[in-house]
A = this chain, B = another copy of it.
Amino acid sequence: MESRFTSFVGGPTGPWKIVSMRAVSGNGMALASHLDLRDGLTEVEDVTWQLRGVASHLRYTNEDERKVLAAIQPALNRPEARCAVLIPIRKTAAWWLLAQDERRAIIEERSRHIAIGMTYLPAVARKLFHARDLGEPFDFLTWFEFAPQHAVAFDALLVALRSSPEWDYVDREVEIRLERKC
């Protein structure tokens, strides 16, 4: 079984070349030139940074949404998906004090987070990793993969999400753009 635990390791080597890093909200991170994805949470030595996450069960997606996603979402590692973006975000303390139905209402009924993501499928593949309950500096790490010709669509996805009410609760966000050879 593939590990649910992944470390995103920034440093001098790795299969993904870091094209740009940008602090969207809050504190940034140290610049690194390459990224490696490793199974597990074990500390990797002599690297610039290591972000840990766990792929977990669905937290907000309902059954109707789950069925649609299962039918149209692509796998990672498509050969043509040479572009990737890693977006670590942290949400405010106020967010985490909300009840489940309040968070769901902000995420979907008001912000259309799930619906917006669907409109960019199958072009933009994504995988969510949870980090908050590992004691990490970010709450979530989202990994996106797409072919170069879908970079413009990906930018539109980011604009839509960042202008939504949900993003009022994001107090730290870093955008890390990557490329790999075929």
Contacts and interface: CB of A to CB of B under 8 A. Distances in A.
Interface of A: 4-5, 41, 54, 56-63, 65-66, 96-102, 104, 130, 132-135
Given A56-B133, A62-B101, 14 more contacts: A4-B133, A4-B135, A56-B132, A57-B97, A58-B98, A58-B100, A59-B59, A61-B99, A62-B99, A62-B100, A62-B102, A63-B98, A63-B102, A66-B99
Contacts of A100: 58-62, 104
Contacts of A133: 4, 54, 56, 130, 133-134
19 contacts: A41-B135, A54-B135, A56-B133, A57-B96, A57-B98, A58-B99, A58-B100, A59-B59, A60-B100, A61-B99, A61-B100, A62-B99, A62-B102, A63-B102, A65-B99, A66-B99, A100-B104, A130-B133, A133-B133
Nearest to A69: B99
Contacts of A96: 57
Interface of A is mostly: mixed
A179 B141 CA distance: 42
A38 to B, nearest CB: 15
A167 B38 CA distance: 36
Contacts of A134: 133-134
A61 B59 CA distance: 13
Ranked nearest first, the 9 interchain pairs of A and B with the lowest CB-CB distance are A62-B101, A63-B99, A66-B99, A57-B96, A54-B133, A62-B99, A56-B133, A63-B102, A58-B100
A102 B132 CA distance: 24
A96 B61 CA distance: 13
Which among A41, A58, A100 has the greatest number of chain B C-beta atoms within 10 A?
A100
